[in-house]
């Protein structure tokens, strides 16, 4: 092998969600020690590329065979052939699982590079229980993967037990962030929305998707006093449903959706409380960002959230699906500035101690380098 390693990234979308933002952070951290090709099934969704540093060498491949379609041998072989010539293939979530299957079936035939798969959670179709067909498909497709990366303990258990992956293949790497950047005090005009004197903000960062159940957040927020505003940062197809719920409750003057933000570290500190209302999560990066910014977190007990936050904050993490409990927890924090400050500081200390991105980046670097058998 000559030159710097060339990594192929296969995503179902490259809009700025958790997995995509993490990919960009790793690309930026690797700098000029790697070059990258990015593929998205949704060809119009490449918004996360705006966060890639100018010094990073990358390209988009719009001609790559579609990651969507029936897993027929001819189609899978086309995908496999398109992986040739790279040093490493990185696949992400169920949307890229056909590429993982193609790699396992045709790796030896075409001399394909190593593949590392990344799983961050499930969409609404597998919310209640995993689909048996998908479980079996994953078991087979992951057969020749060099690694299976998961961010949470619950996903690690699923990978080992349900997907029957060998212990040596499964790598749990918690998501990390630049905690120092999030500790900086934001400017009042960092958003298009200006925080007025006396206002208090409940905020969230999330893709506006059904599984995030943001209409639920609108409902629990509606019970707070008039001096509280709800700020939802993100973009997605569920925006209309959120707006409709705010209209129904006649609080649209207090619910704001300025869109996605390129640099959450510049704005998240404007929030007074960080809130999630998701039906499913695993290890949400936004919670770590809120913790690093010194915010208290209100959320349902889904994924690893209760273990992520400080012990003190865990008291306001509510049972999954219990809307009344979520509203009560939010009201409790809204009523006490002292409690918000106490939980926020405990969260900040835990984020610095456990979730700084330096450890995450080093772990990914070693994993990818080991798979390629070359330095990164």
Alpha-carbon span 149 to 117, nearest angstrom: 6
Is the pLDDT score of 283 beyond 80?
Answer: yes
pLDDT-based confidence at residue 162 (cuts at 50, 70, 90): very high
Alpha-carbon span 260 to 268, nearest angstrom: 12
Which three-class secondary structure state does DSSP give residue 305?
Answer: helix
Tokens 């998701």 locate to: 278
Is the pLDDT score of 285 beyond 90?
Answer: no
pLDDT at 126: 72
pLDDT at 346: 98
pLDDT at 124: 67
Residues 6+ apart with CB under 8 A from 63: none
Alpha-carbon span 204 to 295, nearest angstrom: 11
Is the pLDDT score of 51 beyond 60?
Answer: yes
Residues in the chain: 376
| Least confident segment among 4-18, 78-92, 105-119, 240-254 | 4-18
Mean pLDDT of 60-69: 94
Is the pLDDT score of 260 beyond 90?
Answer: no
pLDDT at 152: 87
Is the pLDDT score of 127 beyond 70?
Answer: no
Q: What percent of the chain has pLDDT over 70?
A: 98
For the chain, domains (ranges, CATH) are 6-176+357-372 (3.40.50.2000), 179-354 (3.40.50.2000)
Other Cβ atoms less than 10 A from the Cβ of 180: the count is 12
pLDDT at 3: 84
3: left (phi over 0), alpha (psi -120 to 50) or beta: left
Average of per-residue pLDDT values in the chain = 93
């Amino acid at each position: 092998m000559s030159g710097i390693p060339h990594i192929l990234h296969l995503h179902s979308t490259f809009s700025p969600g958790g997995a995509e933002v993490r990919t960009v952070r790793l690309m930026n951290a690797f700098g000029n020690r790697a070059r990258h090709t990015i593929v998205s099934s949704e060809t119009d969704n490449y918004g996360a590329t705006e966060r890639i540093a100018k010094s990073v060498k990358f390209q988009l491949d719009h001609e790559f065979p579609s990651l969507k379609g029936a897993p027929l041998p001819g189609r899978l072989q086309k995908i496999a052939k398109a992986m040739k010539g790279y040093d490493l293939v990185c696949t992400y979530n169920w949307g890229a699982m056909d590429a993982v299957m193609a790699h396992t079936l045709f790796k030896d035939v075409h001399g394909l590079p190593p593949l590392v798969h990344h799983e961050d959670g499930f969409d609404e179709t597998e919310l209640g229980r995993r689909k048996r067909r998908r479980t079996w498909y994953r078991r087979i497709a992951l057969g020749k993967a060099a690694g299976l990366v998961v961010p949470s303990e619950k996903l690690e258990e699923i990978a080992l037990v349900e997907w029957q992956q060998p212990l040596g293949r499964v790598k749990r790497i918690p998501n990390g962030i630049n905690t120092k950047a999030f500790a900086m005090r934001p400017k009042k005009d960092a958003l298009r929305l200006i925080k007025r004197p006396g206002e208090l903000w409940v905020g969230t960062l999330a893709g506006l998707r059904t599984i995030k159940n943001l209409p639920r957040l609108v409902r629990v927020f509606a019970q707070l006093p008039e001096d509280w505003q709800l700020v939802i940062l993100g973009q997605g197809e569920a925006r209309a449903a959120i707006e409709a719920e705010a209209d129904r409750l006649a609080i649209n003057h207090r619910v704001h959706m300025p869109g996605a933000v390129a640099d959450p570290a510049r704005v998240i500190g404007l929030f007074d409380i960080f809130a999630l209302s998701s039906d499913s999560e695993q290890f949400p990066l936004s919670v770590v960002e809120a913790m690093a910014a010194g915010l208290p977190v209100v959320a349902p007990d889904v994924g690893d959230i209760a273990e992520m936050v400080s012990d003190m904050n865990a008291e306001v993490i509510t049972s999954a699906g219990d809307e009344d409990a979520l509203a009560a927890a939010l009201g409790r924090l809204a009523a006490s500035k002292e409690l918000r400050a106490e939980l926020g500081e405990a969260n900040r200390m835990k984020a610095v101690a456990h979730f700084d991105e330096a450890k995450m980046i080093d772990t990914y670097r070693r994993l990818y380098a080991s798979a390629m058998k070359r330095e990164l």
